Structure 1
Amino acid sequence: MNIIDAHPHIYADPSEQDKYPTIDDPWHPGEPSTAEDLKSKMDEFGVSRAVFIQTSTYYGHNNRYVMDSTRKYSEWATGVATLSPDDPEHLDVLEDAVNNYSVRGLRGTSDQNGEINSANVRRLWRKARDLDVVVNCMVMDDLERVYEIELMARQHDDLNIVIDHCFMLNTVRKTEETLLALERLAKLPNVHAKLTSGTHGSSRIYPHEDMHPPLKRVIEAFTPDRCVWGSNFPNALWSKGTSYAQNLSLFTDELGLSQSDQEAILGKTAERLWFS
């Protein structure tokens, strides 16, 4: 089965901090997390390709490490840049990343006022559409943005949008409201779900049984053809210690998915979005 990791974060070796400076008070990964470290995990568990996600909690809007790594490893990886919609110069940064570094996505965050349906966000998302790359919409659990995302998706129906972390879907707070929001967006054919909530949304240890029904409900709403899997690497930081292998086996062994559903969620959808 072709497996693509649609949500790993990568961090340069600490010896390269002068080349890739961090923000003040960065969130450290907790384990070796270079692109090469990720590839070792992928090779061990049969994952063929990856979509590097720029992490703003470490590098802010400096995408240099993701860009350099994406260009260096373009035979098995692409990248998603995190940029500010309020900085007009970031339009050029995105174009450079796409045209010269093999980046295939934009992490679409809200503007300085916390909004999605604003002139600045629309400007950046239009640039992503014109460059034919995917927008990974990341608004954490701000469900007040759902109507704005819906409006943007309708206005840009030729733009593929992925809801990062499914609005931080979890079993402790706002569970039903989040599922209803996702089901609403699932009616739009250009909106997709990134199923990374199985670990960080659970209040239980692996195999996170409490998250099985919510995940299955999201899959039913979007269909497997609009769902993607991601490892949340480095897992020491982002998966509460649930290992890379367990993040994968949650979908291959624990959820009871059919072979065809696994093939779509673990590979085919991501291949269409980021590698076609």
Structure 2
Amino acid sequence: MDVVDAHCHIISEDLTAYPRAPLGGKQSTWAATRPVTAEGMVSRMDATGIAQAVLVQATTNYGYDNSYVLDSTRRQPDRFVAVGTVDPLRPDAADSLKAAVGEGGLSGVRLFTSGSTVPTQGEWFAAPETHPFWEQAAELNLPVCLQMRLGAATAQLTELLNRFPGVTVLLDHIGYPDIAASPARAGAEVAELAVHPGLHLKLTHRNLERLQDAGERAADFLDPVLGAFGAGRIAWGSNCPAAEQSLPELLALAEQVLAGLPESDRRQIFAGTARRLYGSLGTSGS
């Protein structure tokens, strides 16, 4: 089966060429204890049978310096595309975004509004100062990965999607829905967001582990979400090496949880959606 990893991170061993500059000044634990270089990621991909991957900027190691994901993609364009982190609040955010994309540049961007080193959910991603950035992203048809938590900022996300219906947003980790508390309630809350056609979901171990724990009740989440979004708006990502498991284990987890889906849905989730979002990946695995 063709597989594209829509969410993995790389960190260089060369601190001179690629110095650390984590957002907020705090490096994440995983970046410090289990980093993986671009070459190491290729080795893991080969061992797992993964054709291509989306290199998502390690914000908790490099902040807004996208040099390593860009350089790694330029060295191996047949295996990688680059998603960089940007600051949409800067007055020149729109112009900078336009300059950063294109051949040899970014294929997408990521806004890191909440995570392991940013426990308080930020609402700044929908502030009026960011509107030129969002307008430019829509004009460029550039996917924007949004790392955020539903509930705490769902109102801001909805406001943003209503204001910019032409923008493509890929919700990292599906916004951390509380599947453990109630798969059915979490599924219903996520499914409501499908009315926004530009919104896509990134399915990772942070969701899949909860679905595995839910057993048969996993369908209470998956059925309404798939029914509302369709598999063509859902992409699998490993989150390697932020996840503690190995890349083969992360892919096996996804395959196990999604085993009951139609083959056509699985093809979309494991590769098709990512290939449409990031056209430079091509239409099929090499």
TM tier, smaller: 0.7 to 0.9
- Per-residue deviation at 1:165? 0.8
Q: Which residue type is aligned with residue 195 of structure 1?
A: L
Looking at structure 1, the residues matched to 208 and 253 of structure 2 have their Cα atoms a distance apart, in angstroms, of 13
Q: Give TM-score scaled by structure 1 length.
A: 0.84
SS at match of 1:250: helix
CA contact (8 A) 2:5 2:54 kept: yes
Give the counterpart letter for 1:258 in structure 2. Answer: P
The alignment status of 1:26 with 2:24, answered yes or no, reads: no
Letter in 1 for 2:81: T
Q: 1:156 pairs with 153, 158, 164, which one?
A: 164
Secondary structure (helix, strand or coil) at the match of 1:7 reads strand
Match of 2:251 among 248, 251, 261: 248
**Aligned partners of 2:9 and 2:150: how far apart in 1?**
22
* 8 Å CA contact 1:54, 1:80 repeated in 2: yes
The answer to whether residue 76 in structure 2 is matched with residue 73 in structure 1 is: yes
Contact 2:171 2:201 (8 Å CA) reproduced: yes
Matched, 1:267 2:271: yes
Structure 2 partner of 1:220: 227
Say yes or no: does 1:121 pair with 2:130: yes
| Aligned residue in 2 for 1:188 | 196
Residues 38-94 of structure 1: CA distance to partner in whole angstroms, max 9, x if unpaired? 111111111111111112111111111112122222222111111112222443443
For residues 97-112 of structure 1, what are the structure 2 equivalents within 5 Å?
97-109=100-112
- Which shows bigger deviation, 65-74 or 35-44? 65-74
Amino acid at match of 1:248: L
Question: 1:171-211 deviations in whole A, cap 9, x for unaligned?
Answer: 44686665443212112221111101x4467469xx54458
Unaligned runs of 5+ in 1: none
TM-score by length of 2: 0.82
One-letter amino acid matched to 1:232? N
**One-letter code of the match for 1:41?**
R
1:4 aligns with 2:4: yes
Give the AA of the match of 1:212. Answer: A
Summarize the Cα distance change of 1:70–1:96 in structure 2 as closer, same or farther, 3 Å threshold. farther
Structure 2 vs 1, CA of residues 226 and 21 (structure 1 numbering), >3 Å: closer, same or farther? Answer: same
Q: Distance in 2 between matches of 1:70 and 1:90?
A: 23
CA contact (8 A) 2:88 2:133 kept: yes
AA at the equivalent of 1:219: L
Identity %: 29
Q: Distance in 2 between matches of 1:123 and 1:177?
A: 35
Gaps of 5+ in 2: 115-120, 281-286
Q: How far apart, CA to CA, are the structure 2 residues paired with 1:181 and 1:116?
A: 21
Amino acid at match of 1:127: Q
